[in-house]
Amino acid sequence: MSTTTVTTDAGTLRAGTLPSWAPLAVAGLSVALGALAWILGLSVVLAVLLAIVVFVVALPGWSLAEKNRRAATDRLVTALIWTAFSVAVVPLVWLIALVVKEGFATLSPEFLTYSMRGVVGDEQGGLYHAAIGTLLVTVMAALISVPIGIFTAIYLVEYGKKNRLAKVITFLVDVMTGIPSIVAGLFALALFVLLIDPAIRWGFGGAVALSLLMVPTVVRSSEEMLRLVPDDLREASYALGVPKWRTIAKVVLPTALGGIVTGVVLAISRVIGETAPLLVVAGFTDSVNTNLFEDRMMTLPVYIFTQYANATEKGYAYAWGGALVLIIIVMVLNLAARLIGKIFAPKTGR
Amino acid sequence: MAKSIEISDLDIYYGDFLAVQGVNMSIKARSVTAFIGPSGCGKSTVLRSLNRMHEVIPGARVEGKIAIAGQSLYDSAVDPVSVRRMIGMVFQRPNPFPTMSIYENVLAGNRLNSKKMKKSEADDIVERSLKGANLWNEVKDRLTKPGMGLSGGQQQRLCIARAIAVEPQVLLMDEPCSALDPISTSAIEDLIHELKSDYTIVIVTHNMQQAARVSDETGFFNLKAAGQPGHLVEFNSTQKMFANPDNEATEAYISGRFG
Ligand SMILES: Nc1ncnc2c1ncn2[C@@H]1O[C@H](COP(=O)(O)OP(=O)(O)OP(=O)(O)O)[C@@H](O)[C@H]1O
Ligand SMILES: [Mg+2]
């Protein structure tokens, strides 16, 4: 490959630069090499690896040959970052593609609106009861943990000012972040077994278990957001003779609202797929239950788990379908979080 | 309704750091008092201690006495919130509320305290305050747009409008014109002249001409040496300060032969 536009004599501004088609050409070359190696009998993984290595070495090498060290370093780091990025993204895309491929055929109005009540053999069943359960349990968990989380964050940022209690709370929140979800579930179960009834299984228990997992996330994200609010704004409000609590309620919280809402929604999408605690506390059922405070309640993750455990063809199909629905719900929540974050973000008006 | 302020033996700390030492002065009602002095000598610090904004900073405290119309400001029974309602402030850096429109920013002092008022009354306050801060003509067609969308100088005038909208009895201004063009500066100075008949005004400025133009009395602050606390070198009528100051350092500073 000859370099067309490049002259190495210093003095011209374009000295040592590669032509704009260089990355593409090198990418083409490395893919071709990888393909060749594959045809010659190398395994797919090794062939891909070879292509990547060729690209990462060849492009900076070419730049270096043009006596431009800075550009060569830049190319090398850029190539490495793109490689790392692909390594991170490939499994994600793969996962989504697989779930869509396997689950799409199962999606049907019946699947979304039927429960599993009295479904035997090849009869059509659905996940309606599980979707309702997930919705109720998650909303309840959010209702419990969002106020606790936000008020804790307000205490830490606005009142705690690094005093002893604030330090202890921060430490405990950090510890809570690491609680395994099954432990949260067992704790909720033990709590209600001791307090109410040894045989108790109810949706509310699941909500309590999930909120144990949610609270630390909400505290952490809200804390970050509140800290981002500049002290100038608090001072501006104080200087107008506004008391502290009004300043927090009407200046600090609205300014941070976008970020707080985003954090809450992300915390929700984090716990919505939890299986173990719900299996333990909310239990398992085939029928629709809309009362959080009575009887077992089915949820999507538990539904997926039990259908898969059935090990029948129909069961596998339902499990994939349930997984797809769950992913769609999480995606919708994430989009909603972005939208809400945008709507509430302080406006510059420029 | 304007109030005088007596400061005696005032020491101001940031944690263990003594920023300003031994300030004594009396600020007259219905007059303009200017603080001048080199950067870092504690002008803002003294100003902020006058409406108890200093203690907002963690670890910051004040020793000595400040009395407004005979009432001690730092008495344990005094609520800082009511002090700040009486003594308004314009900050060195403009700080409009980013979630609020221009209109809401001007009314912030009333709205944040949930003061009920009629729409016409509110419109009235907004127009009067913005006119006072010489901003009305530039923003009258976009009052509902965010306050952050204004230029730096416009934001500063918005903050001035916000401060005068609540009609405090004392107005503290920390370099209110440092980001403004000469036209807006002269409008603000006109405003200060106007407000003087009702309010007590304290203004920090780096602009000697401005201090000479607007103030009745001037305080010159300085550092004894680098790393030493700031102190009040001379406090006199502006006329005397600029014509024939008592202190040599004052003269050197004012005439530009400083350091
Ligand atoms: N938040 C703070 N924490 C600790 N020290 C501070 C703080 N703010 C100011 N200081 C210190 O107090 C001293 C006086 O600062 P101040 O802001 O009052 O100066 P100034 O006279 O207003 O200066 P300028 O003209 O640059 O605004 C300086 O030494 C400064 O470093
Ligand atoms: Mg200052």
Is residue A100 in a domain?
A: no
Residue B66: pLDDT band by 50, 70, 90 thresholds? very high
Is residue A26 in a domain?
A: yes
Q: Are the beta carbons of A60 and A73 closer than 8 angstroms?
A: yes
The verdict on B89 touching A (C-beta cutoff 8 Å) is: yes
Instruction: Encode chain A (350 residues) as per-residue pLDDT tens digits.
Output: 444 554 445 557 777 778 888 888 998 999 999 999 999 988 888 998 899 899 888 888 888 888 778 888 988 999 899 889 988 999 999 999 999 999 998 888 888 888 888 877 778 888 999 999 999 999 999 999 999 999 999 999 999 887 899 999 999 999 999 999 999 999 999 999 999 888 888 899 999 999 999 999 999 999 999 999 999 999 999 999 999 999 999 999 999 998 899 899 989 988 999 999 999 998 888 888 888 888 889 999 999 999 999 888 889 999 999 999 999 999 998 898 888 888 877 665 54
Minimum distance, in Å, between the CA of residue B188 and any CA atom of chain A: 20
Same domain, residue pair A149 and A238:
yes
* Residue of minimum CA distance from atom 14 in ligand 1: B42
The tokens for B165 are 């909208």
Is residue A107 in a domain?
A: no
pLDDT cut 90: percent of chain B above it: 67
Same domain, residue pair A150 and A68:
no
Same domain, residue pair A60 and A141:
no
Given A41, A72, A95, the domain boundary residue is A95
What's the pLDDT score for residue A1?
45
Same domain, residue pair A228 and A309:
yes
Give contacts of A238 with chain B, Cβ < 8 Å: 53, 56, 80-81, 84
Would the pLDDT of B231 be above 50?
yes
Given A74, A95, A116, the domain boundary residue is A95
What's the pLDDT score for residue A23?
86
Which ipTM value was assigned to this complex?
0.91
Is B56 close to A250, i.e. CB distance below 8 A? no
The tokens for A336 are 């909603």
Same domain, residue pair A169 and A82:
no
Is A161 close to B58, i.e. CB distance below 8 A? yes
What's the pLDDT score for residue B86?
92
Q: Which residue has the tokens 């006072």?
A: B132
- Give the torsion sign (CA, B37, B40, B43, B46): negative
Q: Which pTM value belongs to this model?
A: 0.84
Same domain, residue pair A33 and A160:
no
Q: Are the beta carbons of B149 and A349 closer than 8 angstroms?
A: yes
Is residue A3 in a domain?
A: no
Please compute the mean of the pLDDT values over residues B115-132 and round it to a whole number: 92
Q: Are the beta carbons of B82 and A241 closer than 8 angstroms?
A: yes
Is B56 close to A238, i.e. CB distance below 8 A? yes
Is residue A7 in a domain?
A: no
Same domain, residue pair A90 and A234:
no
The verdict on A227 touching B (C-beta cutoff 8 Å) is: no
Same domain, residue pair A148 and A212:
yes
pLDDT cut 70: percent of chain B above it: 99
**Ligand 1 atom nearest to CA at B45:** 18
Q: Are the beta carbons of B38 and B258 closer than 8 angstroms?
A: yes
Same domain, residue pair A160 and A49:
no
Nearest CB among B86, B88, B98 relative to A255 is that of B98
Decide: helix, strand or coil at residue A20. coil
What's the pLDDT score for residue A223?
95
Is residue A258 in a domain?
A: yes
Same domain, residue pair A138 and A275:
yes
Nearest CB among B84, B146, B149 relative to A239 is that of B84
Same domain, residue pair A84 and A136:
no
Minimum distance, in Å, between the CA of residue A140 and any CA atom of chain B: 30
Domain that holds residue A71: 15-95
Sheet holding B60-68, edge to edge: B71-72, B60-68, B5-14, B17-27, B230-237, B217-223, B32-36, B200-204, B170-174, B87-90
Is residue A52 in a domain?
A: yes
Decide: helix, strand or coil at residue B58. coil
Is residue A264 in a domain?
A: yes
What's the pLDDT score for residue B79?
92
Please compute the mean of the pLDDT values over residues B104-124 and round it to a whole number: 92
End-to-end CA distance of chain B: 42
The verdict on B136 touching A (C-beta cutoff 8 Å) is: no
Q: Which amino acid, A217?
A: T
What's the pLDDT score for residue A9?
52
pLDDT in tens, B191-230: 888 888 888 999 999 999 999 999 999 999 999 888 889 9
Nearest CB among B51, B99, B111 relative to A239 is that of B51
The verdict on B158 touching A (C-beta cutoff 8 Å) is: no
Q: Which amino acid, A55?
A: F
Q: How many domains in chain A?
A: 2
Which of A232, A234, A240, A250 is the best mutation test for B, with the most CBs of B within 10 A? A240
Give contacts of B95 with chain A, Cβ < 8 Å: 230, 232-233, 235-236
Same domain, residue pair A199 and A300:
yes
CATH number at residue A168: 1.10.3720.10
What's the pLDDT score for residue A349?
52
B62 compared with A115, residue with greater pLDDT: B62
pLDDT in tens, B44-56: 999 999 999 999 9
